[in-house]
Structure 1
Amino acid sequence: MAEFNIHLSPPITTSTVAAPPHWPPAAPGNCDAQKCPWWPYSSSKDFKANTALILVVLFCALICGLAFNAGIRYIIRLHCSRRRQREAADEKADTGGAAAEQAAEIPSVIYSEGMKLTGADTECIICLSEFSIGEKIRVLEKCNHGFHLHCIQRWLVSHSSCPTCRTNCSTESTSSSPP
């Protein structure tokens, strides 16, 4: 087999390697900033300047972190409020269409003094005003309770039960035959 020697850089020789700097040995007990290379600061002014610089950098990092946190919280709140509005609009659209159809299916009658309503109510339990003679009201088929036309329509947009007795007023078949 043939041996391949591929060098991407020139070989390192002892003449190309830089020698580390040679520090003169310090006498024990005679080590100060000018004579000892490992002394961290050359004077007390450098220490104060470095401390001030570190404090400024930490303060700027704190301000940036707080601004980032506030921005993220703002974006999350904006997203959540938009989602809640969208869900509320979708729910209102979903229930509003079905409720409008359901309220339209309830027959309206003209109130007269001799009408027999369940519980002998002569007032709308939703708005608490009495029925007047000749006024259009709607009587729920399942429980025979009567309400003003506009009151029961608004009620059925958000509820599916009678406001008086809580009987389910949906027109869908609620009873199913057992198997």
Structure 2
Amino acid sequence: MDLEDSSQEFHWQDYKGDLFKRNTLLITAPFFTLFVLFCFLFLYVLYICTYPRSRSAISDLPTQQGPSMAGLDPVTINNLPSLVHGSSSSNAYASEAMDCSICLCVFEEGEKVKVLPPCHHAFHSWCVDKWLSSHPSCPLCRSCLGS
């Protein structure tokens, strides 16, 4: 009987509980570590994709002030052909252009209209003069006017 009494005193359930707690910790710790690493990786990729690069990288980009974006000189702009809208000389362009593509206003009869030589697009004189002072091309088709 002493043998049976001693076996009843030993509790298998407590031993299994401790083993389960240790195994759970061994299993969840690596998964938690991987989860934290993936969160940091996601935040890093989000940061890289969202925020602009350093100022030195931005300053290396070409600016609009460079030589390729310089406009025409005032003498060249003033030498472009000008017509009065509604006159006989502008009838050839009346069927093509009824409005200025820069300001989107309809040409009124008697307004001064400039016609660009390479593409024959017509614009208000004051609109295209302002454009050509900063761009060397037609505002509509981008054909080059400068040499």
Q: TM-score range by the shorter chain?
A: 0.5 to 0.7
Q: Which structure has the highest helix share of the two?
A: 2
Does structure 2 retain, via aligned residues, the 8 Å contact 1:125–1:147? yes
Shift of 1:114: 1.4
**Which of 104, 109, 113 is matched with 2:86 structurally?**
113
Does structure 1 retain, via aligned residues, the 8 Å contact 2:83–2:115? no
Matched, 1:145 2:121: yes
Does structure 2 retain, via aligned residues, the 8 Å contact 1:161–1:170? yes
User: CA offsets per residue over residues 81-140 of structure 1, 9 Å max, x none?
Assistant: 458xx48x8454448942xx2385323747343152484225235255321245343321
Shift of 1:171: 0.6
Structure with the larger RCO, 1 or 2 (CA within 8 Å, 6+ apart): 2
RMSD: 4.1
Shift of 1:44: 1.8
Q: TM-score, normalised by structure 2?
A: 0.55
Which 5+ residue runs of structure 1 have no aligned equivalent?
A: 1-41, 173-179
Matched, 1:129 2:126: no
Matched, 1:74 2:49: no
Letter in 2 for 1:45: G
- The aligned runs of 1:1-179 (5 Å cut-off) are 43-79=15-51, 81-82=52-53, 86=58, 90-94=62-66, 97-98=69-70, 101-102=71-72, 104=74, 105-107=76-78, 109=82, 111-114=84-87, 116-117=89-90, 119-121=92-94, 123-124=98-99, 126=101, 128-148=104-124, 149-150=126-127, 153-154=130-131, 160-161=137-138, 163=140, 166=141, 168-172=143-147
CA distance in 2, matches of 1:55, 1:118: 86
Does structure 2 retain, via aligned residues, the 8 Å contact 1:110–1:134? no
Identity %: 19
Secondary structure of 2:114's aligned partner: strand
Shift of 1:45: 2.4
2:6 corresponds in structure 1 to none
Letter in 1 for 2:77: I
Which 5+ residue runs of structure 2 have no aligned equivalent?
A: 1-13
Q: TM-score, normalised by structure 1?
A: 0.47
Moved over 6 A (4+): 155-159
